Chain A
Amino acid sequence: MSTKQILEKFEPRRQNLLMILHALQDNHPQNYLTEEALGETAKHLKLTKSSVYGVAKYYTMFSLKPRGKFVIRVCVSAVCELMKGQEVIGHLENVLGIKSGETTPCGTFTLEIAECLGQCQEAPSMMINEKVFNHLDEQKIREVITEYRKW
């Protein structure tokens, strides 16, 4: 869908800004908000480009740079840390060959950290796009990534 088609689905009111940014980001194959998309949004809502940028930049779920097809969000909050979650990032960095905050050169995976994902009864946890993975250990991480590599 084009940026214009998405914008037309929303009434041009500022209160829809976050929902618009979600929709635009989800629509982009690289899971991010392009400068063009932010500009079009500003025009649609009759806001300045800087205020749209300010909102997009504030919220951690929005990205202003291209990301992989799959965005991995690893929980680093208290319960996951207690349940050995700090090892999860390390395992993922090894398996993917990138550091936290980076995207694999092939454009498949982006590795990010996230705050509590509310999965504490099965910690440690991560999300890949919309899907949640719990009880993570090195073996499970390898299996999950291998599975996603096939897509």
Chain B
Amino acid sequence: MIKETRITLKNVGKINPESIDDYIAAGGYAGLKKALKMEPFSIIDEVLEAGLRGRGGAGFSTGTKKKFTSKSCLTCPQRYVVVNADEGEPGTFKDRVIMENDPHLYIEGTIIAAFSINATKGFIYLRGEYTGSIDKTRKAIAAAYERGFLGKNILDSGFDFDLELKLGAGSYLCGEELTMLESLEGKRGHPRIKPPFPAEKGVFGAPTLVNNVETLSNVPLIIANGKDWYRQFGTERSPGTKIFTISGKVKNPGYYEVEMGVSLRELIWDLAGGMSGDKPFKAALLGGAAGTFVDASMLDERMTYDNLREKGATLGSGAVIVMEEGDSVYNILHNCLRFFKHESCGKCVPCRVGTSMLVKGTEKLRNGVPDKRALLDQMVHESEIMAATSLCPLGQSPILPLKSAARYFAEDLLI
């Protein structure tokens, strides 16, 4: 029986999110105080050696990202930190939990990240529908300014950092980092060609570090407690904890922070209380719409970035959508493909046309085509072309739920 290991969520439900004093009394801003006395490069090394990987979904090394950004364009007058708080992946609400319950944690992580790469200006890009998170974040920023954690000469360190809250306006795609930068500049949410990566040419053309809320929430803990403390959690290649958001047909849907490396079975039965009804487990959609379906054969696989990738599945944002016997994988796949069609920005033709074709194809599977198997193969082939020819992850994503549904649940799709 596994239990939760709450490190980023340790204050949730225990402190008043609107009280900076509560946060400080719980050990808050100690990481920042320590960081400001360190050399910026040693902060980056600490995060690098702690092995923290981006919690937004891609799992890229956070320390490496910081290193790139700190070393790119040393003559540039300005560099930036951008907080990706545009959580919109279906089934995912981990960042919302942090922002609504412990907003100072990710703000502290942002200030430390800024200091480590010498950025004096930062933005939080928060999705417009997250009204609770917006309210708590706005208050937390104001309180941090009042106490001298933000602004000029932070805690007499000589370091200046301004943090501004910017709101999204209902575009899933803006959660993709380069698209987010376009949106921050006041433009339509269209992705940019990469390279250059944000580390080289980010917002306003300046070197920019883009990190997810959950990722940044780990940073104060790593700095305050050290990399060795951090590495006691999780696995060698995926250290630390991960917040999983479990929804669907389980007894206790919700958010659970566990050490990296637990199994899907442990998440569902030990933490979420097992299946909600009498029916057995049928499927889980891991990582949201841009994720993969798995069946019961995957229940005992370790939930780490690398292990799931090797098995053809994804950890992604940590969304776990659980389905029971009788639920239709076809319906959820259709929903995911419809979602991509709705959210495609239209810049790349293969994505604009392809997302529509996949929805139509899925509907044709139900409206009687002579050879359903051939149609499904054709759709998978189309999604491969989209993945190869689209600029951003949106066009590269439909292949994930489609191929995995075809692999495990072909009988659902071909009825």
Interface residues of A, Cβ cutoff 8 Å to B: 13-19, 21-22, 45, 54-55, 58-62, 73, 76-79, 81-83, 114-123, 127, 130-132
Cβ distance A57 to chain B, nearest Cβ, rounded Å? 8
Q: Does B407 contact A (CB under 8 A)?
A: no
Cβ distance A18 to chain B, nearest Cβ, rounded Å? 6
Contact check, B170 vs A79: say whether CB atoms are below 8 A apart: no
**A127-B128 Cα distance, complex, nearest whole Å:** 12
Interface residues of B, Cβ cutoff 8 Å to A: 87-93, 96, 128-132, 166-172, 183-189, 204, 245-249, 253-255, 285, 288-289, 319, 321, 323, 327, 331-332, 335-336, 339, 342-343, 345
Contact check, A18 vs B186: say whether CB atoms are below 8 A apart: yes
Contact check, B247 vs A19: say whether CB atoms are below 8 A apart: no
Partner pick for A82 among B87, B93, B171, B248, CB 8 A cutoff = B248
Partner pick for B247 among A13, A60, A121, CB 8 A cutoff = A121
| Residue with the highest number of chain B CB atoms closer than 10 Å, among A45, A59, A130 | A59
The 10 A-B residue pairs whose C-beta atoms are closest, nearest first, are: A17-B186, A59-B169, A60-B170, A61-B170, A120-B247, A118-B93, A14-B186, A77-B90, A116-B90, A121-B253
Contact check, A123 vs B247: say whether CB atoms are below 8 A apart: yes
Given contact pairs A115-B172, A130-B131, enumerate 6 new A-B contacts (beta carbons under 8 Å): A13-B186, A55-B187, A115-B90, A115-B170, A120-B245, A121-B245
Partner pick for A115 among B88, B255, B285, CB 8 A cutoff = B88
A contact residues around B332 at 8 Å (CB): 78, 81-82
Contact check, A22 vs B169: say whether CB atoms are below 8 A apart: yes
A contact residues around B248 at 8 Å (CB): 79, 82-83
29 contacts between A and B (CB under 8 A): A18-B168, A18-B183, A18-B186, A19-B166, A19-B167, A22-B128, A54-B188, A55-B186, A58-B345, A59-B168, A59-B169, A61-B170, A73-B129, A78-B335, A79-B90, A79-B91, A79-B248, A81-B331, A82-B247, A82-B248, A82-B323, A114-B129, A115-B170, A118-B88, A120-B90, A121-B247, A121-B255, A122-B253, A123-B247
Contact check, A82 vs B321: say whether CB atoms are below 8 A apart: yes
Q: Which residue of B lies closest to A119 (CB)?
A: B93
**A19-B249 Cα distance, complex, nearest whole Å:** 38
A contact residues around B327 at 8 Å (CB): 82
B contact residues around A76 at 8 Å (CB): 335
**A87-B167 Cα distance, complex, nearest whole Å:** 30
Q: Which residue of A lies closest to B184 (CB)?
A: A15
A contact residues around B285 at 8 Å (CB): 78
**A110-B219 Cα distance, complex, nearest whole Å:** 42
B contact residues around A127 at 8 Å (CB): 129, 131
**A41-B247 Cα distance, complex, nearest whole Å:** 42
**A116-B261 Cα distance, complex, nearest whole Å:** 27
Contact check, A22 vs B186: say whether CB atoms are below 8 A apart: no
Contact check, B289 vs A78: say whether CB atoms are below 8 A apart: yes
Cβ distance B182 to chain A, nearest Cβ, rounded Å? 10
Contact check, B247 vs A61: say whether CB atoms are below 8 A apart: no
Q: A61-B128, A61-B169, A82-B323 are in contact. Are A120 and B339 (CB under 8 A)?
A: no
Partner pick for A77 among B170, B255, B289, CB 8 A cutoff = B289
Q: A18-B186, A58-B189, A121-B247 are in contact. Are A114 and B170 (CB under 8 A)?
A: yes
Cβ distance A75 to chain B, nearest Cβ, rounded Å? 9
B contact residues around A60 at 8 Å (CB): 169-171
Cβ distance A62 to chain B, nearest Cβ, rounded Å? 6
Contact check, B186 vs A78: say whether CB atoms are below 8 A apart: no
**A118-B243 Cα distance, complex, nearest whole Å:** 14
